[in-house]
Amino acid sequence: MEQTYRLIISCPDRVGIVASVGQFVSSHGGWIVEANHYADSESGWFFMRHCIKANSLPLSLEQFKKEFESIAEEFQMDWAITDSDTPKQVVLLASKESHCLVDLLYRWHSGEMKYDIPCVISNHDDLRSLVEWHGIPFFHVPVDKNNKAEHFHRVSQLIAEHRADTIVLARYMQILPGDVCEEYEGRIINIHHSFLPSFAGAKPYHQAAQRGVKLIGATCHYVTQELDAGPIIDQDVMRISHKDSVEDMVRLGKDVEKMVLSRGVRLHLEDRVLRHGNKTIVF
Amino acid sequence: MEQTYRLIISCPDRVGIVASVGQFVSSHGGWIVEANHYADSESGWFFMRHCIKANSLPLSLEQFKKEFESIAEEFQMDWAITDSDTPKQVVLLASKESHCLVDLLYRWHSGEMKYDIPCVISNHDDLRSLVEWHGIPFFHVPVDKNNKAEHFHRVSQLIAEHRADTIVLARYMQILPGDVCEEYEGRIINIHHSFLPSFAGAKPYHQAAQRGVKLIGATCHYVTQELDAGPIIDQDVMRISHKDSVEDMVRLGKDVEKMVLSRGVRLHLEDRVLRHGNKTIVF
Amino acid sequence: MEQTYRLIISCPDRVGIVASVGQFVSSHGGWIVEANHYADSESGWFFMRHCIKANSLPLSLEQFKKEFESIAEEFQMDWAITDSDTPKQVVLLASKESHCLVDLLYRWHSGEMKYDIPCVISNHDDLRSLVEWHGIPFFHVPVDKNNKAEHFHRVSQLIAEHRADTIVLARYMQILPGDVCEEYEGRIINIHHSFLPSFAGAKPYHQAAQRGVKLIGATCHYVTQELDAGPIIDQDVMRISHKDSVEDMVRLGKDVEKMVLSRGVRLHLEDRVLRHGNKTIVF
Amino acid sequence: MEQTYRLIISCPDRVGIVASVGQFVSSHGGWIVEANHYADSESGWFFMRHCIKANSLPLSLEQFKKEFESIAEEFQMDWAITDSDTPKQVVLLASKESHCLVDLLYRWHSGEMKYDIPCVISNHDDLRSLVEWHGIPFFHVPVDKNNKAEHFHRVSQLIAEHRADTIVLARYMQILPGDVCEEYEGRIINIHHSFLPSFAGAKPYHQAAQRGVKLIGATCHYVTQELDAGPIIDQDVMRISHKDSVEDMVRLGKDVEKMVLSRGVRLHLEDRVLRHGNKTIVF
């Protein structure tokens, strides 16, 4: 993939945004290879993502940022520009269940998804050999009801030490403390094993079996302080029938969970997810 | 379609059920063209549906029922036998929204689904011309907050007069009184415009937009006294995006609603839905 | 829906297109409510669709066209601008099968899709009453192997007399002559009852049953002189099993066919489909 | 999972099959936990699969086979009985592409699917480390246009030495010789990266891009001597758009391929796939 700069903008909607940004980019010779716009008529907010060929611009990222500042101010933009060649630093948190972790490791190892994994942290030691085969540091940080504060302190420390910019909860099964949620707002991705808002909380497949639903699902969302209530990035479902026991749902659901999580992470890695209140714009 | 008898059985699971029923049918020369079994290991209950070629049996339905009684008693069966050539009598209840009603009328008119529609009842007069074009009696029974009892009394009367065995709420938007729910238990089919249990109650698409879900859905279920909580027959979903407003969801959702409702009604008409507590076995 | 102008552009890709168009629109005060871009790196071609609030522009469509001409020339654009308030004139061609026709009539009648239907033409008289109930002229133009030329002459005449800009083959089952295909290139929409390129030509469900596929599908495409080979607008599939006979496939397939056709027609009506060689860009 | 015997039967359809088999099983106290029947009215053939609790039967498998023989003869059955506790011996053949192999290894390693993998054979050495991490023997058997006979001789030898009863081509990309296809008829499973019969043969994603389809797919089928034409076990599709290049399709398609392959292999391992001519009955 050719190197691009990704210019991500949210601002109040008004006439002239597209023209000003387009004018700015083209005045520097910038070649736009992908562009997405969305005007939310309800809130009066405008969202934009441009991919610009890096080698078409005579500017460094730093220069671009400096020169773009006046447009950003004029339109009161919340904005960022990222470099497709700078991989995100993604710390993976897991528990005992391996399917989501293995899937993310595989997509990294095969080069299908481009990101760095500075380390994997788990409250169980079961997945150590697998992670270490990939050449990735593995930290076992046990947790029980008496050492929660200590556990999360150590986890936070490891995340900070490894300079993570993104945290993925690959079926981590622990509720992160509020201060971590706040510090990494919009950068912690969770997979919940139900079609939210149905069956939030514990044992969603048991809840689904109880209700007799005909589809099970999974939801990938940003973590906020309210459990299973953060902005949804992606969801999907799978058909089941009366023949499927809770155990069957758990097994079948794994395929939906890992598919939805990897899609959500990929969208985040490519800066395609813009948050707006409790919703997402996904370009 | 060739005429068949449909033998529907629920009973406690034990050895010998399949053999006894199979033996009974074959001893009369009965040709089984479709057979479905399900043993629910959790509840220890067994479910069965057989389709037998009518012309392979020298027995009338009445004789079959009489002769089968001893097996039914032995295995403590909850059972029924129906004739594929006897169409169900389905009264349709609607409001102003036409998509579900039109879809069911079309599938009846084109012969795609075999059933009788003794009448359509609506609390608005808007759909009269459409219904009457099909040669079906249309009854306008207005309702407002002051005449609910009267409205439901008249509706119940019409249903009884038209000897309905099944009632379909094709976006009827009124909550049926408890006594009607009880009298027609397992024979009133509703379509709810969300993927239940998410967004039960009023304005589900508004709730969905509020939560920022990435799929919308519809649920076809039997009506019980608890709102939107009866046994689910079928469900389906459709992908949406941030670009879809509530109005878009309402429009897109219509296609899911009518698809799911018609599938659920078809399954019911063919006696493929067995209720077990608050769940369904769908053969 | 608020009135918008839709500006549709295809041109060789180069730096400055987005900026120039954006500049032009905003210099006239134009408020862009939806924008889509696509750069096809393989062919070096660029595609763009803008929706501009009509009441934000002080220009008439004619003035817009005149003023935009110099930009269009500079970038060698193949372009058009349409008015969302000017409904397309869509002549529907059908045969005996009613499901696609009924679906399109319903979506028109209920206001779900905005277009005019100057007339329906069919080689059978079966659907006359249905069409006329909607207040739409119905023309029965019989065809057999001896009068094909005459049939198509009359059909062409009717299409021209009714000033159609779009022709929809709603399971018309006849192969249009080459000169009609050419005259209405990119404006004749067909639904084929298979997942093309599988099972082109006659009796696709029989072909599908023969091959033992596990999904059946439908394809909505623009008609070209080569049978079932024109640019694809949309496709979808439905799961089947060994239990489904050819008759079941025909029945089940109807739901996919009408869904895919209505989606394709809707995309066309909103000027969202840009053709490029034998492919489509669908915004 | 509780141990069961799986009784698989195909025979000409007639009255009394279900009764005789049911009678036989219940006379020995056999508890049927799952039963499936299908009567193909077109060919007049009948198909049946029963799962019987092993511990409900006082017979060994050998005794069951001996005693059942008279019924089998009476109804001219093509039949088999297998033990859910006897894992199939599955040799995996791969090339360079790892996604399908890794997926099958993972499902084996995590215990999600029960089977033995006596060895993996590949014409490239790339995947050795991965396979050996799982503790499974890996054989690198190179192939080029000059040593095809030698290659296949060695591959056949390895398959025989490892007493495989099933061969899975996990994107092996070589065409097996006719004698191998014949020897392992109904036991060689391939994944083809298109929705067959579209795009059989080489480079299906390039063919798909060329045709401009809106869905890509994958097909899991039994291998026969005719390329990509054997009985289909399962298929699935994924939505794409004009934005997806051939490289995107290759990447996206991997998820469909591994999902469809693992589903097909699972169905085969559980003896749920009955072949009938070039079609499958999947219970």
| pLDDT mean values, one per 10 residues, chain A (283 residues) | 94 92 93 92 94 94 96 97 97 96 98 97 96 97 94 96 97 92 96 96 95 98 94 98 96 98 98 97 97
pLDDT at B1 over 80: no
Which two tokens mark D210? Answer: 């060329």
Q: Which residue of A has its CA nearest to C46?
A: A33
Is the Cβ–Cβ distance between D103 and D258 less than 8 Å?
A: yes
Q: Which residue spans within chain D are E strands per DSSP?
A: 4-12, 32-40, 45-53, 78-83, 90-94, 120-122, 138-140, 166-169, 188-192, 215-222, 232-239, 273-276, 279-282
Q: Which A residues, 34 through 73, put their C-beta within 8 Å of a C-beta on chain C?
A: 34-37, 39, 41, 56
Q: Is B27 on the interface with C (CB under 8 A)?
A: no
pLDDT class for D173, splitting at 50, 70, 90? confident
Q: What is the pLDDT of residue A173?
A: 87
Q: Is A106 on the interface with D (CB under 8 A)?
A: yes
Cα gap A164→D98, rounded to integer Å: 29
Residues B84-107 have pLDDT tens digits of 999 999 999 999 999 999 999 999
Instruction: Tell me the shortest Cα–Cα distance from D48 to chain A, in angstroms.
Output: 18
Instruction: Compute CA distances B65 → A30, B7, B10, C17, D23, whole Å.
Output: 81, 10, 16, 78, 22
The DSSP output letter for B190 is E
Q: Which residue spans within B119-247 are E strands per DSSP?
A: 120-122, 138-140, 166-169, 188-192, 215-222, 232-239
| Matching CATH number, B90-282, of 3.40.50.150, 3.40.50.2000, 3.40.50.170, 3.90.850.10 | 3.40.50.170
Instruction: Compute CA distances A52 → A24, D189, D244, whole Å.
Output: 12, 45, 18
Residues D115-169 have pLDDT tens digits of 999 999 999 999 999 999 999 999 999 999 999 999 999 999 999 999 999 999 9
Q: Is A281 on the interface with B (CB under 8 A)?
A: yes
Cα gap A58→A68, rounded to integer Å: 14
Q: Which residue of B has its CA nearest to C258?
A: B255
pLDDT at D1 over 90: no
- Answer yes or no: do B18 and D22 touch at CB < 8 A: yes
- Answer yes or no: do D254 and A98 touch at CB < 8 A: no
Out of D213, D243, D280, closest to residue C38 by CB: D243
| CATH number for the segment(s) A4-83 | 3.30.70.260
**DSSP secondary structure string for all residues of A102-122:** HHHHHHHHTTSS--B---EEE
- Answer yes or no: do C23 and A25 touch at CB < 8 A: no
Q: What is the pLDDT of residue A1?
A: 75
> How many Cα atoms occupy the beta-carbon half-sphere of B35 within 13 Å?
26
pLDDT at D209 over 90: yes
pLDDT class for C173, splitting at 50, 70, 90? confident
Minimum mean pLDDT among B30-34, B88-92, C104-108: which range? B30-34
Nearest to D41 by CA among C243, B49, B57: C243
Q: What is the pLDDT of residue D65?
A: 96
Active site members of B: 228
Residues C54-78 have pLDDT tens digits of 999 999 999 999 999 999 999 999 9
Out of A199, A242, A282, closest to residue B280 by CB: A242
Q: Which residue of D has its CA nearest to A133?
A: D133
| Residue A66: strand, helix, or coil | helix
Sort strands B232-239 and B273-276 into parallel, antiparallel or unpaired: unpaired
| Residue D52: strand, helix, or coil | strand
Percent of chain D having pLDDT more than 70?
A: 100
Chain C residue numbers with beta carbons less than 8 Å from the beta carbon of D198 are: 195-198
pLDDT at D114 over 90: yes
Residues B258-267 have pLDDT tens digits of 999 999 999 9
Cα gap A282→B241, rounded to integer Å: 8
Residues C224-272 have pLDDT tens digits of 999 999 999 999 999 999 999 999 999 999 999 999 999 999 999 999 9
Chain C residue numbers with beta carbons less than 8 Å from the beta carbon of D236 are: 215
Mean pLDDT of chain C: 96
- Residue B246 carries which side chain, given as an amino acid letter? V
Mean pLDDT of chain B: 96
Mean pLDDT of chain D: 96
Percent of chain C having pLDDT more than 90?
A: 95
Residues B196-216 have pLDDT tens digits of 999 999 999 999 999 999 999
- Answer yes or no: do B22 and D18 touch at CB < 8 A: yes
Q: Is C99 on the interface with B (CB under 8 A)?
A: yes
Residues D35-69 have pLDDT tens digits of 999 999 899 999 999 999 999 999 999 999 999 99
pLDDT at D283 over 90: yes
Query: Per-domain residue ranges for chain C?
Result: 4-83, 90-282
Instruction: Tell me the shortest Cα–Cα distance from C195 to chain D, in angstroms.
Output: 9
The length of chain C is: 283
Which two tokens mark C252? Answer: 């089940």
Is the Cβ–Cβ distance between D138 and D132 less than 8 Å?
A: yes
Is the Cβ–Cβ distance between C7 and C81 less than 8 Å?
A: yes
Q: Which residue of B has its CA nearest to D37?
A: B35
